[in-house]
Structure formats: structure tokens, C-alpha cells
Amino acid sequence: MNTNPSALAQLSASKSGAPSRPGMRDIPPRRPRGRWYSFAGAGALVAVGYMDPGNWATALASGARYGYQLLFVVLLASLMGMLLQWVASRVGVVTGRDLAQLCRERYSRRTTIVLWLACEVAIIACDVAEVVGSAVALQMLFGVSLTAGVLMSAVGTFAMLALQSRGKRPLQRAVTALILFVSFCFVIQLALAHPAWGEALAGFTPPRALLCDAGMLWLAAGVLGATVMPHNLYLHSSLVRDHARSGDDEAIGDALNGVNIDTFASLAIAFIVNASLLVVAAAVFHAAGHAEVNDLADAHRLIAPLVGSHWAGITFATALLACGLNATVTGTLAGQAVMEGFLNLKVARWARALLTRGLAIGPALAAVASFGQHGSNALLVATQVVLSLQLPLAVIPLVRFASDAGLMGRWRVARVPLALAWGCAGVIVALNAAMLWQAATGH
């Protein structure tokens, strides 16, 4: 029998625990085939960004003002989010690098810095929304001032991140438990609100006034920005990049199967929560003639008497707090991935959390001091519009990398998925352009 010397050398090296060739990294044991749940976890961390306080603000304002009409936008944004997160995770698994790292490798330094700064602006805008939303929830539950709530939310971030000192799984389990808790809260909300389900189903058709009504278009852009957040694309590709480190087709295929199930299942739950938010707002506030309700504090004050149960107010506030705590963790992890990827600069997680909290707390404190609790929703919606404007700077490079045969090989995105991905980019650019044109012309 012929013996391959290089195979014997590799076998000997593997038995001795040494790398088989200079510079070769140790490869972790492959997960058992068929156990997709061994790849689960990243989807939950990404999904919390789809149900943060910014989503609450846009869904509340949309449902109270326009009833069920903008459910179509929630559905469209969620489907776009699923597709783009699928593309982001595919790029991360196949290349072993995240979106920020690929941008640094393939673009000029000037372009890389611009993309990094744009993403940091998006993270700060999102972080402001999460801090203010958590502060409002704490005020609802415990009667603390908004200023104290803003500071307490920073403490909550460090408490959640402390779980990761024991490994990734404890944090992922805590995040998943809070997602399930939020879902349970909205089951209660829907049962108490008694929505008009026929009208709700009709809301999944495109509204005729979408491109004519400036207020509806503004909220639609906010829904899009709150749902498909640019830094979530960077985060997802970063979380899964080590899932197939051996690089062979079998490992990549196993990882992609598990990651796809995790992604679509997690984002399906996020869509249900977002749609439920809008349905509750439409059934409770719009149906009762309170179309002016566009503030989280006002919604909390009115929801219990309108549905006739004090549990409505309690579940509303606790679910908001759970979403805020979850989302702060996502923002911190995304910030770390972006900084490391674009700048090749590693920062301790506590230091990154301190940096993002510091950058967000200043604007959040200024906002609550200027507007008080009744101006929080306008601030939250505005931050989500900022996210929508930043989104093309992440989506366009992502789709270009995903369709590059030289980079992705046989796993590249092509044909129908590629056309849909470019279609998503086109919709985002067109919606932002229409919103900016209306803002400039006043129409």
C-alpha cells in the first residue's frame, strides 16, 4: 500500500497536538452533522435589534395614526431583513471574515474610514434610542426620573455583558429568554386589545397613500431603519465567521444549514413582535380616536384604561424594558465588531461598552432634559430615520461581496436571491430619496 508522507506528517502532528504546517491555526472539533442547533445563538443576538425601543416608537406612531395600513411596511422590512441577514451570515461563514474586515481589505483607506464613521453614527443613533427607551420603561415601572433611568440603563448593559465572561452561551440564553418573555407579553396584549383581524389582514397590502403622505413616508422610513439596521449586518457576519473554520465544503454546508434555520426562526419571531406592536396600537389607540398618541409614556398611561385591565400597562412596560436591555447588548457587540473589523483595533468589551454608553448617554440626557418624557417618541423615530439613511452604505458592499465568485466560490449569491438583494438595495435608496425630496420641498 502506498503511503502519502504528507498525510503521515499531518496525522503525526495532529496526534502530538502541533500544527501540521507552519502558521496553521488549530481547528476546533467539528460539530456533529445534522445538529443544526449547535450553530444557534447568533440569530437571537441579531433579532433583538429588530425589536428594540426604536421599533416600539415607529410601530406605536404608525398604528395610532394610520391604523393597520403600515403593516405592509413592517412585513416588507422584515422580509428584506431576513434576506439581507441571510446574505450577511453567508458571507461570514464562507469567507471566515466579517463585512467590516472585507471592506478594510478591498476598499481604499479613505473609503474604509468613511464607512466606519457612518456605521458608528448608526450605532450611536440606535444606542440613543435604546437608552431613552429603557429609561422610559424604568420610569413607567418604578417612577424614577428619566435622567436616573438613562444612568440605570448603562448599569444594565454591563450586567448583561458580564454573563459573557462565562462564555457565549449564557448571554445567548439570557437574550433568548428575554425574547420569549417579550413574545409572551404581546400574546397578553393582543388578547386584551381585541384587534379587528380582518382589517389587520388588509393592512398587509400596499397603502395607496404611502408615497403621497409625507407623514406616512417618514414613518415608513423609520420602520425600515428600525427593522433593517446597518450594524446588524456587520454583527451577524462577525458572529458566524468561525462556524466553518476548516474551510471545506462539508463544514461550510453544515454551518450554513444551521445558521439559516437560526436566522429565519429568530427573525420570524421578531416580525411577529413588530407586527403585534402595530396591531395593538391600531386596535387600542387608533380605534378609540387617539391618533395623536405617539409617545411611549402616553401609550402606557392610556393603554390600561382603554382595554380595561391594569395588566396591559404592566406587560407594556416590562416588555419595553426587556427589549431595551437586549438591544444594548447587541449595540455593544456590533460596535466592537465594527471597530475591530474596520480599524483592526481590538478593544475590551467593557471598554467598548463604556465608550458606546458614553457617546449615547450625552445625547440621551440632553434629549430628556429638552423634551421630557413626552418628546421621547419623536427622538426615537428620528434616530431610526438616521439608520435608514445609513443603510445603503452597508447593504451595497455586502451584496457586492456576496456575489463575487472570486471571494465566495461556489457559495456565491446568484440569480433570484441576488436580484432580490439588489432589489432591496434599490427600495432602500428610493425610499430614502423620496423622504429627502419631500423634506426639501415640503410636499
pLDDT at 375: 57
Domain membership of residue 317 (yes or no) is yes
Give the model's pLDDT for residue 266.
93
What would the mean pLDDT of 145-149 be, rounded to a whole number? 85
Greatest mean pLDDT among 34-43, 190-199, 374-383: 190-199
Residue 36 has pLDDT above 70, yes or no: no
Residue 413 has pLDDT above 50, yes or no: yes
Task: Give 21's pLDDT tier (boundaries 50, 70, 90).
Answer: very low
Residue 15 has pLDDT above 50, yes or no: no
- Say if residue 296's pLDDT is above 50: yes
Q: What is the pLDDT of residue 297?
A: 81
- Asked if pLDDT for residue 12 goes beyond 90, the answer is no
Q: Quick one: which of 151, 122, 113, 30 has its CA closest to 331?
A: 122
What is the average pLDDT across 63-75? Answer: 95
Q: What is the mean pLDDT of the chain?
A: 84
Q: What is the pLDDT of residues 240-249, one digit of tens each?
A: 999 887 778 8
Asked, for residue 21, whether it belongs to a domain, the answer is no
Task: Evaluate whether residue 6 is within a structural domain.
Answer: no
For residue 260, pLDDT over 90 is answered with yes
Cell of 43: 440569530
What's the pLDDT score for residue 17? 41
| Over residues 176-205, mean pLDDT | 94
**How sure is the predictor about 440, in pLDDT bands with cuts at 50, 70 and 90?**
confident
pLDDT value of residue 2: 46
Listed in sequence order, the residues at least 6 apart from 233 whose beta carbon sits closer than 8 Å to its beta carbon are 84, 85, 88, 99, 394, 395, 398
pLDDT digits (tens, 9 = 90+) for 306-328: 999 989 999 999 999 999 888 87
Residue 164 has pLDDT above 80, yes or no: no
**Model pLDDT, residue 321:** 92
Summarised one tens digit per residue, pLDDT across range 265-290 is 999 999 999 999 999 999 999 999 99
Q: Is the pLDDT of residue 131 over 60?
A: yes
Q: How confident is the model at residue 86 (pLDDT cuts 50, 70, 90)?
A: very high
165 band by pLDDT with thresholds 50, 70 and 90: confident
Q: Residue 356: what pLDDT?
A: 67
Q: Which residue has the higher pLDDT, 81 or 151?
A: 81
Q: Which of 413, 428, 401 is nearest to 79 (CA)?
A: 428
Q: Kindly report each contact of residues 244-248 with a partner whose C-beta sits within 8 Å and lies 24 or more positions away, as own/partner.
A: 244/93, 244/94, 244/96, 245/25, 245/27, 245/28, 245/96, 246/27, 246/30, 247/96
Mean pLDDT of 19-33: 42
Q: What is the rounded average pLDDT of the residues 209-217?
A: 84
- Estimate to the nearest angstrom the gap between the alpha carbon of 163 and the chain centroid: 20
Task: Residue 79: give its domain's CATH number.
Answer: 1.20.1740.10
- Give the chain's domain count: 1
pLDDT of amino acid 24? 35
pLDDT at 432: 85
Which of 17-21, 153-157, 262-266 comes out lowest in average pLDDT?
A: 17-21
Residue 298: domain span: 29-441
Determine the pLDDT at residue 349. 67
pLDDT of residue 66: 95
Across the chain, how many H-helices and E-strands are there? 19, 0
C-alpha cell at 233: 449586518
Q: Concatenated DSSP letters for 24-86?
A: PPPPPPPPPTT-GGGGTTHHHHHHGGGSSHHHHHHHHHHHHHHTTTTHHHHHHHHHHHHHHHH
What sign does the dihedral 365-366-369-373 (CA atoms) show?
A: negative
Residue 197, pLDDT > 70, answer yes
C-alpha cell at 396: 451595497
In a domain, 10, yes or no: no
DSSP3 helix / strand / coil % (the chain, rounded to 5): 80, 0, 20
pLDDT in tens, 169-182: 888 888 999 999 99
CB of 223 within 8 A of CB of 58?
Answer: yes
Residue 28 has pLDDT above 80, yes or no: no
Q: Which of 14, 48, 114, 36 is nearest to 324 (CA)?
A: 48
Whether 42 is in a domain gets the answer yes
Q: Among 164-173, 365-374, 408-417, whose mean pLDDT is lowest?
A: 365-374
The answer as to whether 3 is a domain residue is no
pLDDT > 70: percent of the chain: 87
Angle at CA 81, nearest 5°, toward 127 and 195? Answer: 90
pLDDT for residue 269: 93
Cα distance between residue 206 and residue 427, in whole Å: 14
C-beta neighbour count of 10 within 10 angstroms: 15
CA-to-CA separations, 414 to 152, 367, 402, 418, in angstroms, rounded: 47, 45, 9, 5
